[in-house]
Structure 1
Amino acid sequence: IDDYDVRLLPEIEGIAEGAAVQAEDILVLNVRTEVMFGMASGECTALCTRATDREDAHVLLAQNWDWHPGARETCVLLVEAPHDGPPFVTLVEAGLLAKCGMNERGIGLAATALTSTLDRGEPGVPFHAILRRILTSDSFDEAVDAVLAPTRASSGNFLLASRDGRAADLEAAPGGPDEVHRSDGTRLAHANHFLRPSRGGFKDLERFDDASTSVSRQAAADTWVSATDERSIDDLLGVLRDHSATVCQHADGSGPPETEIETVAAIAMDLTGGSLWVTEGHPCTAAAERFELSSLVAHAA
């Protein structure tokens, strides 16, 4: 972690000090994806589009965050103004370095979990460390490099966008740049299974999970981003509320709490306008609260 970004371990130590816990506890929390390698991933859905097909149209990015129901109580909107990078906001569980969010340079991030037979617990840079590095990037190219440059310890999908109109989906397995499948464009979507071409020695574990809804959610998201000519934040939130393809997920309480997955929060971002909308809980029932990045940063400074 320290070789990847020298700012991260001091940040972890600072979080621990503020929470009055051991730094090792916060470190373990931030490497949970790697500690739990091979287990079922969360069921998140991410989308990126532009309001219209005009070159000056606003760039929009959104996702549902699906995880264990108890995580809802730990969700925070974290705002940071580091002295050596752009201010940013991230919707995250308390104690984590970062999750989905945007920064003052107009870089946006939506992240979804993936798992494959290449996830063997090998040493590398953790998923959440990469998320943090993306949000402290000064440019779109730097954000992309945050994914490509390191030897990653786990699989994950990084949907990146910039207010200048560029966007890319980086579908990454453990390893270096050769294990990243990149898709560029302004209409992108990703759920929790790999879209990359299959090859020998690689198996997508999500596709073999009978309980997974990833394929249906991917189809619904792809249909929306490709078929709609004019798009708005309300439209994006409408997709995140969808139940027909289980984009908005509800736990039924039939299994142990540690196996239940539901939508605990949703976020939609206008990278061009510097605004974001967040729901605390299911987007189908919770009102989306609007925030301005500039105001959040001003209060955090």
Structure 2
Amino acid sequence: MNDSTDFPVLELTGTPRDRGRVHGEVLRDRIHEMVERWKQDIGDDTGMNPDDFLSQLVGETRFLPAVKRWTPDLLEEVEGIAEGANVDFTAIFARQLSDEEPWFRLEKKLGLSWDSAAQCTAIGVNPQGERPALAAQNMDTPAYYNGFQVLLHIKYPESPLEVFMFTIAGKINLAGLNNAPVGICCNTVLALNYAKDGLPEDFVVRGALARPSLAEALAFMHRIRHASGQNYLIGGPERVISLECSANQIVEFVPYPGANRTYHTNHPLVNDDQTIHQERLAAMTNTQRERWGFYANSHARLDTLQRHLNDPDECITIDKIKTILSSHDGPVCHNSATKISLGCLIMELSPNPTLHLAAGPPCSTPFTTYRF
């Protein structure tokens, strides 16, 4: 592991279980501390014993069979993390369910605080002349995630495929790219319908990045059943698109006719598969509806993106994207006691793919460049 700074870069190779074991062993102390902070947050937010909550999350859903069906290698990797870190498998598997846990809490009529709701912002740009396609994201999380960031460099032993995955200790995914290249960013869209027998978001992203082309990654994403409402901003050398995915449909969002760029925040723009959310809202009191005020933040960030990106004649550069994602207008960039932009990724989807990564709020964190 390259750990010359506080931000570790961990190379993983070998079988899926071997990759997981190395992840778990090398980052064991960080994983233990992260799991303890996470369980404390669950207990504070739900009023439940966190181990009981996690047992329900795993036991009352069919995520495990979905992972076994669609991405069995990743299940082995997660088992390896649990073994290497010496942490209960249920806890480590549940740690991969960051986008499933919020709607499960809502279904169980348990607490869901503002800070449990994701607030990520993503931008994609098609090739512009000699400039390569770009995919970029602020990965916004609860502030207690900070300090646990890691970049996984995954090498597949029987394939030339490699992956850079930005994540936290103990998780297989937040966002990343492979050397095909295919890059993928993800934004929670909690208003879209979910499925207890679908493939969880972490496994969707890693499954897509295990494909050697954008076409094959898209085919995978259309073939599976999605567990959670999500916008996947996904691209390759030829284009970048936004797909609003829910339990029952996938709809592409295009900002305007002929647009050569795309963007997204955390509310649905084109996918109307929202019956669960609408029924929940109808049953709420006005006070309870106010808990959903974080959608106002999603709209504010979208307005910021539109102001910066809706001129079709403007060339969108890496520096332009850094400026947008560093903005406190919205705010697009978070850096508070409760919410943080944990990392900012800008991916160049060129023949020599490049990741520009700030492992913290881009308004104050320098970017480092990584190449395969």
Q: TM-score, normalised by structure 2?
A: 0.69
Unaligned 5+ segments in structure 1 are: 254-259, 295-301
In 2, Cα distance between equivalents of 1:287 and 1:63:
15
Q: Is the 8 A contact 2:145 2:342 kept in 1?
A: yes
Aligned-partner SS, 2:69:
coil
Q: TM-score, normalised by structure 1?
A: 0.85
> C-alpha offsets along residues 19-71 of structure 1, whole Å, 9 cap, x if unaligned?
2223222111112322331445310000011463x2x4311111101111111
Does residue 210 in structure 1 map to residue 266 in structure 2? Answer: no
Measured on the aligned residues, the alpha-carbon RMSD in Å equals 2.3
Q: Is the 8 A contact 1:33 1:126 kept in 2?
A: yes
In 2, Cα distance between equivalents of 1:3 and 1:207:
39
The alpha-carbon deviation at position 209 of structure 1 amounts to 2.0
Counterpart position of 1:256: none
Counterpart position of 2:330: 245
In 1, Cα distance between equivalents of 2:290 and 2:241:
23
Taking the TM superposition and a 5 Å limit, the aligned residue runs for 1:271-290 are: 271-272=349-350, 273-290=352-369
Which ranges of 4 or more aligned residues in structure 1 deviate by more than 6 Å? 204-208
Q: Is the 8 A contact 1:41 1:192 kept in 2?
A: no
Higher helix share: 2
In 2, Cα distance between equivalents of 1:140 and 1:88:
14
Does residue 49 in structure 1 map to residue 132 in structure 2? Answer: no
Aligned-partner SS, 2:293:
coil
Q: Which is bigger in relative contact order (C-alpha 8 A, separation at least 6)?
A: 1
Taking the TM superposition and a 5 Å limit, the aligned residue runs for 1:39-188 are: 39=112, 41-50=117-126, 52=128, 54=129, 56-84=130-158, 86-116=161-191, 118-119=193-194, 122-163=196-237, 165-175=238-248, 179-183=249-253, 186-188=260-262
Q: Is the 8 A contact 1:158 1:170 kept in 2?
A: yes
Q: Comparing 129-138 with 81-90, which one deviates more in the overlay?
A: 81-90
Number of residue pairs matched by the alignment: 279
In 1, Cα distance between equivalents of 2:123 and 2:363:
17
Q: Assess, with a 3 A threshold, how the Cα gap between structure 1 residues 29 and 263 changes in structure 2: closer, same or farther.
A: same
Unaligned 5+ segments in structure 2 are: 1-66, 107-111, 282-288
Instruction: State which of 22, 27, 33 in structure 1 corresponds to 2:99.
Output: 33
Q: Comparing 127-136 with 17-26, which one deviates more in the overlay?
A: 17-26
Q: Is the 8 A contact 2:120 2:266 kept in 1?
A: yes
Instruction: Name the larger-Rg structure.
Output: 2
Aligned-partner SS, 2:70:
coil
In 1, Cα distance between equivalents of 2:363 and 2:251:
32
Q: Is the 8 A contact 1:116 1:173 kept in 2?
A: no
Q: Assess, with a 3 A threshold, how the Cα gap between structure 1 residues 15 and 290 changes in structure 2: closer, same or farther.
A: same
> C-alpha offsets along residues 62-103 of structure 1, whole Å, 9 cap, x if unaligned?
110111111121111111012355210011112222221110
